[in-house]
Structure 1
Amino acid sequence: MKKNALTIGSWLQLNSPSAAEIMSQSGFEWLTVDMEHSVTSLETMQHLLQIIEGHNIVPLVRVGENNPDLIKRVMDAGAYGIIVPMINSADDAKKAVNAVKYPPQGTRGVGIARAQGYGRNFEEYASVINRESVVIVQIEHINAVNNLEEIISVDGVDGCFIGPYDLSGSLGIPGNLTHIDVLAAVSEVERICRERKMPLGIHVVDPDISLMNKYIQAGYTLLAFSSDMLLLEKICREKMAALAQVRNK
């Protein structure tokens, strides 16, 4: 991310260790455990992180809210970084960074858990976490677009993710992603991130390679390709449709 080089990851939504293991063996560079739109508990989240890290893949967590207590526990469980929804101001961004970083950079409380080797590696962990942890902010409201310069100026913000669906909702046109106002807002985020050399990402929900190529050509460097749930749903639906044609011959 510091080089703003292209990385491709995916989302884990199924709350399944087996799915996490399959995805970890599939060539992704990072995987995000989704705690915003899933039923994943803190306990299961830690188990999924163990699987991801065990396969030398970067484990991230999308938290359900910008909550310092939740973020602290996610980091203590072993996440390398977080993706935080609805960051609409510089103060929101500072709150997220503070929850990830130890003093003096942040305000994260000190505890002993898996991330610190259950106590054995605390000094080593504390010496690198402020420098190496990742904070990615989701830009998914028109207020965030209007405040983007200030948001990405916050020390400790490492990248932005555009949330186009919620962005369209904040403009009063939910789901209309091709509306001129949505396209203008997205273009503004792209412009600012390009000028500031801030890594920019988006979740390509539909597992469509042509869409991925579109965003790669547009300069996006944090690309999430679908999710465990959607990849499974798509392959099942496509194969059953093909089987139906064979069956009906």
Structure 2
Amino acid sequence: MSVNKNSFKHALAQKQHQLGLWVSLCNAYSAEIVAGAGFDWLLLDTEHSPNDVSGVLAQLQSAAAYPVSAAVRPSWNDAIQQKRFLDIGAQTLLIPYVQNAEEAARAVAGMRYPPRGNRGVGGTMRASHFGRNKNYMHECESELCLLVQVETQEGLDNLEAITRVDGVDGVFIGPADLSASMGHLGNPGHHEVQSAIEDAIRLVRALGKAPGTLTLDTQLARHYMECGSLFTAVGMDVALLAKAADGLVGAFS
């Protein structure tokens, strides 16, 4: 028995664009619905949604039946959260609010067992097929993918140093918090914010790592891809449901 292959990580390494969807409904049934839609990856969010470890586990299990990769965003750059999500089988983590190389290195440490990192050692967790894979601790690192989220002006100022940290596979540019940090709260479409996002995508790509971002605007998503984004989330399950519900009511108004 071997470690599950992380197709998302390998696709990024081969510069193959991955189309994604943000999943915030915190429900295994709805996660299964979108898992079968044809996206390359789903982001199971715990930062801005009422998700917890058991809820994420159920979503990982429901998505596992489909050819889609499931990434998890912890609520903070915290080794304990990383350990818990990795142990239940998450292979890709998106760590929010990384502002410098030291914080990026801390996130890397949470992905690795000692002596290379500080991930706690468990023997019978889901990630190791409940202990059946005796080599899990020695093999897993090659299939784990770390994405760090840059979403402040300070993070942008340190973007090159963050990107160069060994163990960082990709850098996600967070438009919402970035716009707030740049003085344009609630307006990620501001030209200064957009210019910063485009420049960040190009820099990360030039440094040999995978850049990514999120937008609900189809045209803007295509533009980010043209700039070099390799993992682009183009929608959110909550937004899709709200829009469809509003549209249905509107058809009878």
TM over 0.5, shorter chain:
yes
Which runs of 5 or more residues in structure 2 are unaligned? 1-11
Q: Could you say which residue in structure 2 is the equivalent of 1:120?
A: 132
Give the whole-Å Cα distance in 1 for the aligned partners of 2:201 and 2:54: 37
1:68 to 79, 82, 101: 79
Q: Could you say which residue in structure 1 is the equivalent of 2:219?
A: 210
Secondary structure of 1:36's counterpart equals: coil
Give the 3 Å change call, closer, same or farther, for CA 9–187 of structure 1 in structure 2.
Answer: closer
TM-score normalised by L of structure 1: 0.91
Q: Could you say which residue in structure 2 is the equivalent of 1:149?
A: 160
Q: Are the aligned partners of 1:105 and 1:130 in contact in 2 as well (CA < 8 Å)?
A: no
Deviating runs (4+, > 3 A) in structure 1? Answer: 178-181
Shift of 1:184: 3.9
Percentage of matched positions with identical amino acids: 35
Q: Are the aligned partners of 2:32 and 2:63 in contact in 1 as well (CA < 8 Å)?
A: yes
Letter in 1 for 2:109: N
Task: Tell whether 2:44 aligns with 1:19.
Answer: no
2:108 to 72, 76, 97: 97
1:199 to 193, 210, 216: 210
Give the whole-Å Cα distance in 1 for the aligned partners of 2:196 and 2:220: 19
Between stretches 44-53 and 98-107, larger displacement belongs to 98-107
Give the 3 Å change call, closer, same or farther, for CA 68–187 of structure 1 in structure 2.
Answer: same
Q: Could you say which residue in structure 1 is the equivalent of 2:173?
A: 162
Offset from partner CA, 1:32-89 (integer Å, 9 cap, x none): 1100011111111111111112323212100100010011001001101100110001
Shift of 1:178: 4.0
Superposition CA RMSD, Å: 1.6
Q: Could you say which residue in structure 1 is the equivalent of 2:42?
A: 31
Secondary structure of 1:233's counterpart equals: helix
Letter in 2 for 1:162: I
Give the 3 Å change call, closer, same or farther, for CA 191–87 of structure 1 in structure 2.
Answer: same
Q: Are the aligned partners of 2:22 and 2:45 in contact in 1 as well (CA < 8 Å)?
A: yes
Q: Could you say which residue in structure 1 is the equivalent of 2:9?
A: none
Letter in 1 for 2:133: N
> For the pair shown, which has the larger CA radius of gyration, 1 or 2?
1
Q: Could you say which residue in structure 1 is the equivalent of 2:20?
A: 9
Between stretches 97-106 and 151-160, larger displacement belongs to 97-106
Give the whole-Å Cα distance in 2 for the aligned partners of 1:168 and 1:21: 32
Give the whole-Å Cα distance in 2 for the aligned partners of 1:122 and 1:169: 47
Secondary structure of 1:224's counterpart equals: strand
Q: Could you say which residue in structure 2 is the equivalent of 1:247?
A: none
Offset from partner CA, 1:137-161 (integer Å, 9 cap, x none): 1110011111111111111101111
Between stretches 27-36 and 97-106, larger displacement belongs to 97-106
Letter in 2 for 1:203: L
Secondary structure of 1:59's counterpart equals: strand
Which runs of 5 or more residues in structure 1 are unaligned? 245-249
Secondary structure of 1:149's counterpart equals: helix
Shift of 1:24: 0.9
Give the whole-Å Cα distance in 2 for the aligned partners of 1:243 and 1:122: 60
Letter in 2 for 1:225: V
